[in-house]
Amino acid sequence: MIKNISNLGDSALYCDFGNEINRETNSHVINYFKNLQKLDLKGITNITPSYNKLIISYDLSIVNFQDLKKKIKDLKLKETETKEAKIIKIPICLDDEFSLDLNRLSENLKIEKDKIIQSFLNKEYFCYMTGFIAGMPFLGDIDSKIRLQRLETPRVKVPKGSVGITEQFCNIYTFESPGGWNIIGNTPIKVFDKFNEKNPTIINSGDRVTFYKINKDEYLKLNLSLIHI
């Protein structure tokens, strides 16, 4: 449940569900998110869920912080429809040209590369949220044996489709962008399609994701077929 509600700038409200990052805490965040969406309270312009926080942006000409805070605190949560979580299988190519940080991971963790790959592929991941870049999924929870901090110096450009890990999370770069995650491979799948207005994101909060290994020929064939769709 919400631990604290505070201001975020002059037109946003910050709901803090605590410091823990796990599925139980995230389920509370999503429950509030869905309830608020259904209520359609006047003045709210955007609702953004994350691992353990909820940011509610509002129009100051319609509602103020204190009134909105009271409405949130008095909110009687209703059971929201829970769609059966999708299980999504994502192909990943782990060839040297795509696994930019696998050698670094192996050296720092003192684990052979094959064992890192095996550990990564044998895990089922839970999508806590999407964001930072449009449609980028934040997937937990990485096997504790292969967790590592971000790069000390982020890359100026991380290729689109790169699969990165850091701390307890894994993500997929939906566009080329700067980034400091440890890149272990690349997927040819379009995780976010800006031209698909109805369903632009393949992976959404609550979905479960697994990865399976493909070789470069398979990667190129998949990439070529998707380009021509």
Cis peptide before 141 (omega within 30 of 0): yes
Task: Output phi, psi for 41, to 5 deg.
Answer: -65, 140
Q: pLDDT tens digit string along 56-82? A: 999 999 999 999 999 888 888 876 555
Q: How far is CA 83 from CA 12, 86, 196, 205, 225, in A?
A: 29, 9, 21, 11, 30
Distance CA 24, CA 34 (A): 16
Tokens standing for residue 229: 């769709």
Q: pLDDT tens digit string along 178-200? A: 999 999 999 999 999 888 878 88
Q: Which residue has the higher pLDDT, 120 or 226?
A: 120
Task: Output phi, psi for 108, to 5 deg.
Answer: -75, -35
Give residue 229's pLDDT. Answer: 43
Beta carbons of 163 and 182 less than 8 angstroms apart = no
Q: Which residue has the higher pLDDT, 99 or 131?
A: 99
Contacting residues for 179 by C-beta, under 8 A, at least 6 apart: 154, 155, 158, 162, 164, 173
What is the pTM for the complete model shown?
A: 0.81
> pLDDT-based confidence at 84, cuts 50/70/90?
low
Q: pLDDT tens digit string along 21-32? A: 888 888 888 888
Give residue 138's pLDDT. Answer: 95
Give residue 54's pLDDT. Answer: 92
> pLDDT-based confidence at 209, cuts 50/70/90?
very high
Give residue 227's pLDDT. Answer: 54
Give residue 228's pLDDT. Answer: 43
Distance CA 165, CA 142 (A): 8
Angle, CA of 93, 109 and 186, to the nearest 5°: 15
